[in-house]
Structure 1
Amino acid sequence: MPEARGPVGLNGEAHTRYAPGTPCWVSLMAHGLTATQEFYGELFGWEFQPGPHQLGPYVRALLDGREVAGIGQLPPDRHLPVAWTPYLASDDVDTTAETVRLSGGTIGVGPLDAADAGRLAIGSDPAGAVFGIWQAAARLGTDIAGVHGTPAWNELLTFESASAAKFYETVFGYRRETVASDDLDHVVLHVAGRPVAGVRGLGTALPRDRGPHWMTYFEVGDADEAVARVRGLGGQVLAPAHDSAHGRVATVADPEGARFSLIQGLPEA
């Protein structure tokens, strides 16, 4: 994971329009909307506002009045995995969705309008990893970065990086950069010369109960304290906090099983 993680600079500064291909939003579809809000509100300090409701009951998470992420409620009869999903920016979601189909992926939802906020689609890559596509109108996406409780990075965990990266390059126009390592299959995707997302091939180490999926990293002020809070709120610790080249990192799951990572970034030089 490269050091440039957020959509903009640090310390909460707002962004302008996201360049196509840049992760611009993360959304969680859960079974218990109220309990899920309570968990993330306690963990990240989020507050919530309702809507838009095109996909059913849905709330937007806010920090200091600025939009961070979304949480929706799965219909009772839909037994889908509870997971965080990144949305990748597009100037034309209909064209991008068609490119997804032509490149071997699928579109499961949309394209459709989300009131005046924008236009969206939800699809999956050829290996089955789910992602969203967002064409902004009134709402550009995540409106704050670099502070506790904000998305910091998104990484695709899949079988092998080469074919997955090629799909996303074709659809979103990324430039890829392979991370030099003898034992890691890792590619970083760039937009306009800036790293925006990662692709990590795990081979047989990929969890069988999840398959290929996107992992969202959230910024925290203290990774160890955040891990303890996750446990105290009824979540699970999948990989304890440990030091990495990019800061202190842990992987956890909320009470419904949605996996995400926590990162306490290295101090600015």
Structure 2
Amino acid sequence: MSEATRRTPGTPCWVSLMVHGLDATQEFYNALFGWEFVPGPQQLGPYVRALLDGREVAGIGQLPPDRHLPVAWTTYLASDDADETAESIRCCGGTVAVGPLDAGEAGRMVICSDPAGAVFGVWQAERHTGTATAGRPGTPVWNELLTYETSTVGKFYRTVFGYDAEPNVADNPDSLTLRRDGRPVAAVHGLHGGLPRDRGAHWMTHFEVTDTDAAAALVTELGGRVLRAPEDGPAGRLAQVADPEGAVFTLIRPADG
């Protein structure tokens, strides 16, 4: 891929999931979103890429049997230089857990966490520039950081990724919209005491669906759980759900969909 096809630094460009049962997880997301799967880079163990009509939308990997880590979707933010971004993350109070390391010829990656403990990835694209299709059912359409308060972590992300951050009090008194080149790319919500105790600060991926209520019901049929029943919001009709291994994500039928 050419340099011009890379995402602007700081733009969410990919989501991935590490699970214990790779085959069962593929069956769940195939039934829910219609994803098909092809092998991906194996540097960190068995890994597949999810496709819609042959275009990549997400990644799923298998955890080693002895790794008892929380199962969660990870949002990746684009970078032109993963090593430089990793150093900036450390200098600004974050933690680098994995990498920087090469994922074959696909690109270079880092797994890290912000000062409040929310895990995210950094992706420096080479052949793989990230999610290849958007704006249709089964694709990630939005990413939000749910954290304790926005002032400290907002400064962290502004410094590391160069965001413009503007208050969005219509959604939440302690809420920010992160922008790159004038375009909204993510949001930060300070929930203070409202964060789930078992999760702490975390990034949340929203996947588009044609019918939120039907998709939430299907999640239950497939062995997952509905954590927050479908409801209407400013962005559309949303439901918060978890897959059979407990990975939490949001289903959304966009308001303009």
State the TM-score, normalizing by the size of structure 1.
0.92
Give 2:246's match in structure 1, choosing from 257, 260, 268: 257
In the alignment, does 2:230 pair up with 1:241? yes
Shift of 1:182: 9.1
In the alignment, does 2:134 pair up with 1:134? no
Aligned to 2:187: 198
Aligned to 1:56: 45
1:156-212 Cα distance to aligned partner (Å, 9 max, x none): 011011111110111100000101249531111000000000100111110000010
1:125-152 Cα distance to aligned partner (Å, 9 max, x none): 0111000000000010000001010001
Tell me if structure 1 keeps the 8 A contact 2:107–2:125: yes
- Where does the alignment leave 5 or more consecutive residues of structure 1 unmatched? 1-14
- Where does the alignment leave 5 or more consecutive residues of structure 2 unmatched? none
Distance (whole Å) between structure 2 residues aligned to residue 116 and residue 254 of structure 1: 30
Aligned to 2:33: 44
Equivalent position SS for 2:68: coil
Tell me if structure 1 keeps the 8 A contact 2:172–2:189: no
Give 1:186's match in structure 2, choosing from 175, 178, 186: 175
Letter matched to residue 18 of structure 2: M
Letter matched to residue 64 of structure 1: D
Identical positions, percent: 67
Distance (whole Å) between structure 2 residues aligned to residue 44 and residue 151 of structure 1: 11
In the alignment, does 2:69 pair up with 1:80? yes
Distance (whole Å) between structure 1 residues aligned to residue 66 and residue 132 of structure 2: 33
* Number of equivalences: 254
In the alignment, does 2:162 pair up with 1:162? no
| Aligned-residue CA RMSD (Å) | 1.2
1:57-92 Cα distance to aligned partner (Å, 9 max, x none): 100000000000000011111111000000000000
